[in-house]
Structure 1
């Protein structure tokens, strides 16, 4: 086992272990894996092993921090603490069942094996050799001690052995993949007959009594939530920046300072993509061996790459500058010399081997072409300090003022208005939950105070106040009568349309002709599932109908916005499948991967159901 670890530490296993460690620690924390100390209050017991309150609260805090970090504007008030606590507890219980299962199966690593794994992991190396200072610094950055880290690796490694084994056990037969691909590539020929709403609209009438009855029977449809009319001030960096105030001399100096950045370098690359799957490591090794033996990169891309579009072009992806590819791909590409091939690079799409074909640098565009952009950039840079000062002043003035008039005059801001702001507002700036929550707080809603300063966007701040509060109420009948009449009319038109379509459909199924409307049928030949030019609802009906007998048709209906469409399916053509195509092999691998994921999910669920779980 020790030799296996050494052989694989540089490859997929090491990456998975480190990745899982980082995810587990950043989301659930150290205690989610190691467990607590005996004698402490527990929040749950799994098969006799406690999950302590201390570890639970620590992980809850870590999860709160993680969710806050994902917010564009961090606001702890938006967190659902009850949901966080519940999700953390369930995750801790599931993690404990997996650790216990691995232990019961006798999967473990010795101290020597842990040491071998740690010393071979690239993140802990300097110039290809294990560096203890690098290792200790890395572990401390995770908020752990060395002993804790070793224990985490021991348990996570064996848990991952089970996970990997189950995920890779998923099977998909070639025949099943062929049938699915044939269905995916299937085409259908059909006719459609549109029965438009205006053909039955004259048959529909809605009386005032019916409108009133509907109003009385559905009062909840006409309830208005409480809402406010608000005034607000907006302070933004963009408004403070004045491009026109930038002198030509300053602009030219800024242009010269940016010259190196403006001369964009583009790199022409080709790649071989190996998608994730149970045979990915073998296929990748085959490609690397053949490259080492001198075989053509272009030929291998055509044979092996799961990016079939570029593969047909020898893996060619053309020229690209920065911020085009995923960060790992871009970092590797811009570190290569022309003609050099990278080591395996992992992205969300799979594993890449990258070849740099050529490099070109575009000249710096003339100042005239960039003048507007650079003036704006420089103006915003200079306005940033003024914005910070104005933001502080606005916060202080709004806190002390009885209304928004004084802050508006002091900072030369316009008082803006927005009526009927609800707690679920969607119009800017009241689409920001923090601002709305303050607007409906007791001090602002009933006390007449201004809100605090709220950052609603990137360098955009808002202060607001309530001008008028409209309590929840029900709209009067006269206010909604036209809407009710329109809704009832539309409903009855749809009913008449369906009745008309059903009548025509019955006639067609009985073999009768629809002579009067025969000229209105529209024919579609050999349409695919993703065909353009056909309403998606019609296409969905056409592909849901049973295969018709030879010389006959299958019939159905599809509702569009203002019509019912009869669909007569006349022919089904199965898609052609090349048994040796990369598309088929990729689909088979994808199905196998999904099956493995389902099996692992079922395995986790089985462990959970078999476990004895006690909660105080």
Structure 2
């Protein structure tokens, strides 16, 4: 088994190094898995079952994670549910295969390492320390014993160790690095001759027979997707607040009722001398009574590092400041009054009252802007809630939405045109709204008030619904005709490009271009960093020009046009050590992905994997709907 895996890795590595074929890790479907028509599990891997419950939990976790990543702007689950479930199930299968592979490699994880991982998991910490009672409670809620949880951690760590072993392998030798850098360091200069498919399409003619043949052979391309029309009422808190006005009388009334919010409580300013033992405190007190300066003694003897630097000054303290409750309890009422020695939670204190300020009420003129903002916000909240109530009550009773205008003229009632999953109007493009629309699919269905955030809510009513259906030939005729024309123009463009390429390879370029009425663009520079682009791949696939003679090939651009590429020049640039290091780190990551993929493919091919019949049946139904 191990030898076979090594062969798989070496094979993919050779292809990667020599041909720059970097394969990323992909999740495969159910193509080569067995099916079981009579089972009560989602899948079985070498005798180990994956339950439907386990699969559904993993699917929900995946969807939740994707919603968080997309900031609540996620595709509708119903469009992708089958695809997500297949991918998640494949991940669960691969996890079991990697665990078994770790066992075959005789990898082990010590109990001490498992314990170290568990005690560092944030969910089990209280004030940054492991909390055993919290640990036990969480496991109880999960229905796991500590041993079961430790076994799960062990499996995860073993899988991680397999991956780390792959990552830590030395894939590239120095001479391989230099060879690999040869092409990426190149800048290639090429010219392009484009055979535009769209312009050729305009020249095509299509018969009724061709249209009928195309339509009947490709009906799956001419379905109208499920679509909806809705009436919606947006209630925007910010817009409501912006329109609100307040007068002076309202402001005064509100201030009179809420003036306590603008009271600055009484406060006192203290200085302290803090000592660790009672004798030192009494010695300081004796010196103070003999006329010593309080500030000087605090700087010399006080053990409080902060206040001692300031001559004992601890600043202003309000009467309700709980951090200084012990000091506030000392009955000092006159400036300059000093306490005796006071035992406290931090040692022994001598406290002096330096200053006092009585309770202060800010007048309206000093807090005017704050009061305006508060009044507007309260009025906006009241209007916002009233509108929600009106909409909910009226909508729930099934009344005509136009009655809303009579009740509240400020409501804005909107109506959409047809839309589906892939073209939701921007204003309605929120998960909460889409969930209601695409899960109800009932004509006349009315939402409760849908709250998007603290500033925005919607009321929705579905007023029309169109299920997915095949368009008639007459209705789809324009689209079918365009497709036939494009097919013809693609063939014509390809043949013309192939004929021109053959001539360029055997004749002088100027002669060929003149004879065929073709022109090349000005020279453009292409960088290997964009190698994923089909056009760039074609440029870098060409042999280097010799003796100034350009080399040629045919490719397609992003619009689908055929393009002849003429490579004229190759420029080699130099990298400093940092750039070289960055390039190799990126390449190594891709190589690790390729190797990991090779291992998984080998493990899957040798494993006995059975998929539950209901999952395959669901997948086949889903695929049928797309036909």
Q: With structure 2 as the length reference, what TM-score do the two structures score?
A: 0.54
In the alignment, does 2:163 pair up with 1:166? no
2:595 matched to which residue of 1? 599
1:92/1:110 CA distance change after superposition, 3 Å: same
Higher relative contact order (CA 8 A, sep 6+): 2
CA offset digits 1:534-572 (Å, max 9, x no partner): xx7765543332323323221234556697654322232
The one of 570, 580, 587 aligned to 1:572: 570
Q: Distance in 1 between matches of 2:526 and 2:73?
A: 47
Residue pair 2:193, 2:563 contacting (<8 A) in 1 also: yes
The 5-angstrom pairing of residues 189-268 of structure 1 reads: 189-193=189-193, 204=203, 206=205, 210-219=206-215, 220=219, 224=224, 227=227, 229-242=229-242, 245=245
After TM superposition, give the deviation of residue 452 of structure 1 in Å: 1.9
- How many angstroms apart in 2 are the aligned matches of 1:590 and 1:189? 25
Question: What secondary structure sits across from 1:183 in the alignment?
Answer: coil
Q: CA deviation at 1:419?
A: 2.8
Deviations 1:446-493 (A, max 9, x none): xxx34223738542313123258699464574x766666666666655
Deviations 1:165-190 (A, max 9, x none): 23312512233333333311212233
Distance in 2 (alpha carbons) for counterparts of 1:442 and 1:149: 40
1:398 aligned partner? 395
Residue 552, structure 1, aligned to residue 549, structure 2: yes
| TM-superposed deviation, 1:243 | 5.5
CA, structure 1 residues 237+501, in 2 after alignment: closer, same or farther (shift >3 Å)? same
Taking the TM superposition and a 5 Å limit, the aligned residue runs for 1:100-119 are: 100-103=100-103, 106-108=106-108, 111=111, 114-115=114-115
Distance 1:126 1:225 in 2: 52
- Which of residues 572, 580, 585 is equivalent to 1:584? 580
Q: 1:73 to 1:133 in 2, by over 3 A?
A: same
Could you tell me which of 427, 442, 445 is aligned with 1:444?
Answer: 442
Contact 1:246 1:375 in 2 (8 A): yes
- The answer as to 2:541 corresponding to 1:528 is no
**C-alpha RMSD of matched pairs (Å):** 5.2
Contact 2:437-2:462 within 8 A present in 1 as well: yes
1:415-443 CA deviation, whole Å, 9 max, x = no partner? 32223334654334565687567668888
Q: State whether residues 189 and 526 of structure 1, in contact with CA within 8 Å, keep that contact through their aligned partners in structure 2.
A: yes
* Contact 1:439–1:466 (CA under 8 A) maintained in structure 2: no
Relative distance call for 1:179 and 1:375 in structure 2 (3 A) is farther
Partner of 1:64: 60
Aligned to 2:417: 419
How far does residue 216 in structure 1 lie from its aligned partner after superposition? Answer: 2.0
Q: Which runs of 5 or more structure 2 residues have no equivalent in the other structure?
A: 1-39, 256-260, 262-368, 613-627
Task: Provide the rounded CA distance (Å) in 2 between the counterparts of 1:593 and 1:441.
Answer: 41
1:395 Cα deviation (Å)?
Answer: 2.8
Mapped contact 1:233–1:464 kept (Cα < 8 A): no
Say whether the 8 Å CA contact 1:236–1:460 is kept in structure 2.
yes
Residues 73 and 431 in structure 2, CA contact (< 8 A), matched pair in contact too: no
How big is the shift at 1:194? 5.6
- Residue of structure 1 equivalent to 2:187: 187
SS of aligned partner of 2:417:
strand
Q: Tell me, what secondary structure is at the counterpart of 1:187?
A: strand
Supply the distance in 2 between the matched residues of 1:562 and 1:90 (Cα, whole angstroms). Answer: 34
Q: Is the alpha carbon distance of 1:245 and 1:182 closer, same or farther for their aligned partners in structure 2, counting shifts above 3 Å?
A: farther
Contact 1:231 1:466 in 2 (8 A): yes
Aligned counterpart, 1:26: none
User: What CA distance in whole angstroms lies between the structure 2 residues aligned with 1:75 and 1:537?
Assistant: 28
CA 184–232 in structure 1, closer or farther in 2 if over 3 Å, else same: same
1:76: Cα distance to partner? 10
User: Do 2:223 and 2:468's aligned partners in 1 also have CA atoms closer than 8 Å?
Assistant: no
Aligned length: 440
Structure 1: state its 5+ residue gaps: 1-40, 258-371
| 1:380/1:543 CA distance change after superposition, 3 Å | farther
CA contact (8 A) 1:191 1:522 kept: yes
Task: For residues 235-284 of structure 1, give each alpha carbon's deviation from its aligned partner in whole angstroms, at most 9, with x where no partner exists.
Answer: 3334433265378999xx9xxx9xxxxxxxxxxxxxxxxxxxxxxxxxxx
Specify the SS of the correspondent of 2:169: coil
2:397 and 2:234 map into 1 onto residues whose CA distance is 18
